[in-house]
Chains A and B, each alone.
Chain A
Amino acid sequence: MSRSGADNRRWRRDRERREPRLGAMLGASLALHLVLLLLVGGHLLPRRHQPRPPAYVVDLVNLPVKAPQAGRPDGRAKKTVRKKSAPSAKKLSRPRPKPKPRPQPQPKKVVTRKKAGTKPAVKRTRPQAKAAATRPAAAKAPTRAEQERLERRLEMLRLKRQLAALAASDTRAGENAPLGEEKGRGSEQGVGYRLWLQQAYKEAWALSRYQVGRLDLEAEVEVVYDARGFLRDYSFRRKSGDRLFDDSIARAIRSVDRLEPPPGKTLRETIVFNLKDLMD
Chain B
Amino acid sequence: MRRLLLPILLLLTMVGNAPAAIEISAPGQQEIPLALVAPLPLAEPRPALAGEFARVLRDDLVFSGLFRLIDARAFLADAGRMGLVSIDVDFAEWRLLGAEMLIKGGYRVRGEQLIVEARLFDVRAGRLLDGRRYVGRTGDVRRIAHAFADQVLKTLTGRFGPFSSRIAFIGDQTGHKELYLMDVDGHNPIRITAHRSIVLNPDFSADGRRILFTSYRDGNTNLYQKEIYTGRERRISSRKGLNVGGRFSPVDDRIALTLSKDGNPEIYLLSATGKIVERLTRHWGIDIDPSWSPDGDELVFVSNRRGNPHLFIKAPGGEVRRLTLNGKYNATPAWSPTGDRIAFSRKENGVFDIYTIRPDGSDERRLTFGPGNKEHPRWSPDGRFLVYSSDASGRKEIFLMRSDGTGQWKISPPGGNCNHPAWSPRF
The answer on A and B forming one complex is yes
A residues near B (Cβ < 8 Å) are: 54, 56, 58, 194, 197-198, 201-212, 220, 243-244, 248, 251-252, 254-255, 269-278
Interface range for B = 20 to 34
Q: Which residues of B contact A251 (CB under 8 A)?
A: 100, 122, 124-125
Q: Are B30 and A271 in contact (CB under 8 A)?
A: no
Q: How far apart sit A278 and B122, CA to CA, in the bound complex (Å)?
A: 25
Q: How far apart sit A44 and B65, CA to CA, in the bound complex (Å)?
A: 39
Q: Are B31 and A202 in contact (CB under 8 A)?
A: no
- Interface CB pairs A-B, < 8 A, 14: A194-B19, A201-B22, A206-B27, A206-B30, A207-B29, A208-B30, A208-B65, A208-B66, A209-B65, A211-B32, A212-B157, A244-B156, A269-B19, A275-B25
31-69 of chain B: CB within 8 A of chain A:
31-33, 64-67
Beyond A202-B26, A208-B31, A211-B32, 20 extra complex contacts between A and B, CB < 8 Å: A58-B28, A194-B22, A198-B22, A198-B23, A198-B24, A202-B24, A203-B29, A204-B28, A206-B31, A210-B384, A211-B66, A211-B156, A251-B124, A254-B124, A270-B19, A270-B22, A272-B22, A272-B24, A273-B24, A274-B25
Q: Which of A211, A254, A275 contacts B26 (CB 8 A)?
A: A275
Nearest CB of B to A273, in Å: 5
Q: How far apart sit A131 and B125, CA to CA, in the bound complex (Å)?
A: 80
Q: How far apart sit A196 and B100, CA to CA, in the bound complex (Å)?
A: 22
Number of A-B contacts (CB under 8 A): 94
Nearest CB of B to A88, in Å: 38
Nearest CB of B to A14, in Å: 50
Greatest chain A CB density within 10 A among B28, B122, B384 is at B28
Binary CB contact string for chain B from 187 to 201 against chain A (1 if under 8 A, 0 otherwise): 000000000000000
Q: Which of A212, A255, A271, A273 contacts B124 (CB 8 A)?
A: A255
- Please provide the 6 A-B residue pairs with the shortest distance between their CB atoms, ordered closest to farther: A277-B26, A206-B29, A270-B21, A205-B27, A276-B25, A207-B27
Q: Are A205 and B66 in contact (CB under 8 A)?
A: no
Dominant secondary structure at the B interface: loop
Q: Are B65 and A210 in contact (CB under 8 A)?
A: yes
Q: How far apart sit A176 and B23, CA to CA, in the bound complex (Å)?
A: 28
Q: Are A206 and B23 in contact (CB under 8 A)?
A: no
149-185 of chain B: CB within 8 A of chain A:
156-158
Q: Which residues of A contact B100 (CB under 8 A)?
A: 206, 251
Q: Are A209 and B30 in contact (CB under 8 A)?
A: yes
Q: How far apart sit A56 and B26, CA to CA, in the bound complex (Å)?
A: 10
Q: Which residues of B contact A276 (CB under 8 A)?
A: 25-26
Q: Which of B28, B65, B156, B402 contacts A205 (CB 8 A)?
A: B28
Q: How far apart sit A275 and B384, CA to CA, in the bound complex (Å)?
A: 19
Q: How far apart sit A198 and B100, CA to CA, in the bound complex (Å)?
A: 20
Q: How far apart sit A259 and B65, CA to CA, in the bound complex (Å)?
A: 32
Q: Are B33 and A206 in contact (CB under 8 A)?
A: yes
95-154 of chain B: CB within 8 A of chain A:
100, 122, 124-125
Q: Are A271 and B21 in contact (CB under 8 A)?
A: yes
Nearest neighbor of A248 in chain B, beta-carbon distance: B27
Q: Which residues of B contact A277 (CB under 8 A)?
A: 25-26
Nearest neighbor of B21 in chain A, beta-carbon distance: A270
Greatest chain B CB density within 10 A among A54, A211, A273, A275 is at A211
